[in-house]
Structure 1
């Protein structure tokens, strides 16, 4: 099968985890990549390692996103936007959830995705064979106890993805959603649990083979590398040990 011949991508959330793994995988597959994140030191290291172009930006800030769009347009443009930036804070039930945590999650997962899409949509439309891939979560497909804030944010991002596909099909825009389940990364659970390393470790305890960031990056690269006429609308990826959000096999 012929591969996608357009290989100019912008990847957000690139300083760690799935975002960084996606940058590495795309570069290995021959893509030109602009890697975007807030942490300049991590981005610089990733750029040296992978050959990606680093751009420091906060996807929730208008000025940062506008500067990024200007930079990309002046340096070859893009045909593929991959929105990985996101995260979770807290595992509180609705009764005691912190509004500040919810606000942060909504801004990073939802508003940041919106700002990035709006900034690059004109260029993707002009390209005529553009792709947007949003990394959501199985938390956006089924709610679970203690997940309400993250559920709400990821359900919203899932809805944006579906609406965008309907709105932009006339512009030949390919819109893909990748929704991972349990992924063991260095920072996700640690950040969600307020830096508690012991609690973060328990999230993955007894799970023989949770997904890795590299597993998800493999799927992302495959989806955007397919010929443009093939749209993988939604890809749900879980470890075998996780049959559903509420069904996870732990041993030992």
Structure 2
């Protein structure tokens, strides 16, 4: 990494949903870039293990159990870490793949609460500290689902569209302040839990998502993209970065080998 690409003052970087997948990989990437990472997630054992791993490697890492949909808990968290340079809103996820006509409203509600309200909660709570840092960055990890619809994805697509609009609107509203708003929208990413959670633990359905795709994105691919965007010079804002595997041309056009 060139000197020009290195943050002037790497400080604390908060990563939500850091218990696995893209969140954990992003925490590793930011720690390597010199940030003191704060790992948040509901699965306390997972983030504590990651914090220990990073500490053993010579990095500064703190685990903090947090449900981003619990506003009172988020507000308490914000008082514990007042000097924050980077916020990576990664907590989210998909539930189900039913058509609009039969989709479970509870699943839709949960996806909206986690992906959208969770991002709103943490961003609102930490924005004063990010602004006070003089060089803050808000990252919203959305999805290509937030930029194009597909059958069976109504609830997730709606939530991710809302998350995209949240990021775009915030960027307009805080222009002129020392805070950047970056949106990274990954396409097909194969992680240990995303598809499995979406299909309620059905391994066969989860496997079909990636069937015939030799090289879907990995969590490390997305984390590398996020770390790159965060570590641009302070005057450079990566408004929106869409990242897909080569085999995926759109949400509905994927090359699958027979």
Bucket of the pairwise TM-score, normalised by the shorter protein: over 0.9
Match for residue 94 of structure 1?
100
Match for residue 5 of structure 1?
8
Structure 2 segments unaligned to the other structure (5+ residues): 56-60
Deviation at 1:5, TM superposition (A): 1.8
Selected match of 1:230 from 216, 228, 236: 236
Match for residue 125 of structure 2?
119
Is residue 43 of structure 1 aligned with residue 47 of structure 2?
Answer: yes
For 1:46-61, what aligned pairs fall within 5 Å after superposition?
Answer: 46-51=50-55, 52-61=61-70
Match for residue 244 of structure 1?
250
SS of aligned partner of 1:93:
coil
SS of aligned partner of 1:159:
helix
Deviation at 1:11, TM superposition (A): 0.4
Selected match of 1:216 from 219, 222, 246: 222
Q: What per-residue deviation string (whole Å, max 9, x for no partner) do you get for residues 128-173 of structure 1?
A: 2111000000000000000000000000000000000000112121
Separation of aligned partners in 2, 1:71 and 1:13: 18
Separation of aligned partners in 2, 1:69 and 1:15: 19
Q: What per-residue deviation string (whole Å, max 9, x for no partner) do you get for residues 189-234 of structure 1?
A: 0000011011111111110100000000000000001111000000
Q: What per-residue deviation string (whole Å, max 9, x for no partner) do you get for residues 25-48 of structure 1?
A: 111222110010001110111011
Separation of aligned partners in 2, 1:80 and 1:5: 13
Separation of aligned partners in 2, 1:90 and 1:190: 10
For 1:186-205, what aligned pairs fall within 5 Å after superposition?
Answer: 186-205=192-211
Structure 1 segments unaligned to the other structure (5+ residues): none
For 1:54-203, what aligned pairs fall within 5 Å after superposition?
Answer: 54-73=63-82, 77-203=83-209
After TM superposition, the score normalised by the length of structure 1 is 0.97
Separation of aligned partners in 2, 1:93 and 1:164: 31
Tell me how many residue pairs correspond in the alignment.
249
Deviation at 1:50, TM superposition (A): 1.2
C-alpha RMSD of matched pairs (Å): 0.9
Task: Give 4+ residue runs of structure 1 displaced > 3 Å after superposition.
Answer: none
Separation of aligned partners in 1, 2:84 and 2:203: 38
After TM superposition, the score normalised by the length of structure 2 is 0.95
Selected match of 2:27 from 11, 23, 26: 23
Deviation at 1:6, TM superposition (A): 2.8
Separation of aligned partners in 1, 2:44 and 2:126: 22
